[in-house]
Amino acid sequence: MPDIDIRVTGRAGRITLTRPQALNALSYDMCMAIDTALRNWREDDDVDLVILDAEGDKAFCAGGDIAELYETGTKGDYGYGRRFWRDEYRMNAMIFEYPKPVVSFMQGFTMGGGVGIGCHGTHRVVCESSKIAMPECGIGLIPDVGGTLMLSLAPGRVGEYLGLTAGRMGPDDAVFAGFADHYIPRSHWEALIEMLEASGDAEHVKTHAETAPAGGLRALQPEINAHFAGETLGDVLTSLRNADSDFARETLKILGRNSPISMACTVEMLHRLRGPSLNIRKALELEYRFTHRAMEHGDFLEGIRAQIIDKDRNPQWQYADMNVPAVAVSNMLQPLGADALTFEED
């Protein structure tokens, strides 16, 4: 298919996103092509590792292709979106659980759905242009594609901060927060990929790694921990409102643009997931509870309208006063029963 190039070169299974004009946004067909390739290579003795990369300088993958989700959802057809998310999440889990090394090279923007394919592998490479983010609360969704797993594991309350603010991580920030493993300048990638193809040995990635230029996230952690440690979105907002600091004022301004129900559910999800029982399937199953309901009961369609379709940047959110009732959060995250996400392969 024209949007993705899948082949075997040497000892490596190669998956290259080839829609740079669309910032390599993931369509449903691209997700399914990745899924099929991973299944085929899992038992293939000629494939020792998988390499994920993308054409262009601006983005590895700026997210899912949401135009079709909006078009079907506004007509009252929620089935397409539910199928997209369900099958995408299964593919995300397969990458995380893959029995062979998965090496991803993430230049430029890696957001949303791009995080789901690029940040669950064993060797996650960033460069000087990398900008990684989970911006879903700004469109009425929640950090998904397994993003809640990484946010839950981030140091202190950095996960809440990144999930609620959609903060963009440069290379050092991404390594610090657990979204990447290695910083390697972009000019070195081609030679490294050739080495991986020839050898089938993912350990070459580590030998090429360098120290990333310092980011800003580490220095912010004390303030982040102080303000984002509360049990609910309301606790976070109260802490920020009672602080007289540039950080608090700027953070409040950012939160004021995002969907309150999405932010409230994000806080609740991270709190539920933290602990020894956390795994990728648990995170994805909880995320799917929200996304399954996102069009019908959440702010997703309004968020897409305001940010992508009409571009008026003036979404009419539910709970615009930021007072989200606990029952509203509970309703979005209650179990789905027969519609629950499962991971049995068809």
178/101 Cα distance (integer angstroms): 17
Residues 6+ apart with CB under 8 A from 343: 90, 93, 281
Under 8 Å between Cβ of 26 and 67: no
Catalytic residues: 64, 113, 136, 144
Q: Could you tell me which of 237, 283, 277 has the C-alpha nearest to residue 116?
A: 283
Q: Where are the alpha helices (DSSP H) in 105-145?
A: 113-118
Residue carrying structure tokens 């399937």: 281
Please give, one letter per residue, the 3-state secondary structure of 298-329: CCHHHHHHHHHHCCCCCCCCCCCCCCCCHHHH
Q: Given the DSSP bridges, would you call strands 123-126 and 102-106 parallel, antiparallel or unpaired?
A: parallel
Residue carrying structure tokens 């309350």: 157
| Residue at 105: amino acid letter | F
Q: Could you tell me which of 148, 149, 141 has the C-alpha nearest to residue 290?
A: 141
249 to 218, 228, 242, 246, 332: CA distances (angstroms): 19, 14, 10, 5, 29
132 beta partners? 110, 169
Q: Given the DSSP bridges, would you call strands 109-111 and 59-61 parallel, antiparallel or unpaired?
A: parallel
Under 8 Å between Cβ of 167 and 223: no
Report which secondary-structure segment, H or E, holds 59. Answer: strand 59-61
283 to 166, 232, 276, 341, 346: CA distances (angstroms): 19, 19, 13, 11, 21
16/6 Cα distance (integer angstroms): 7
C-alpha atoms less than 13 angstroms from C-alpha of 257 in its C-beta half-sphere: 15
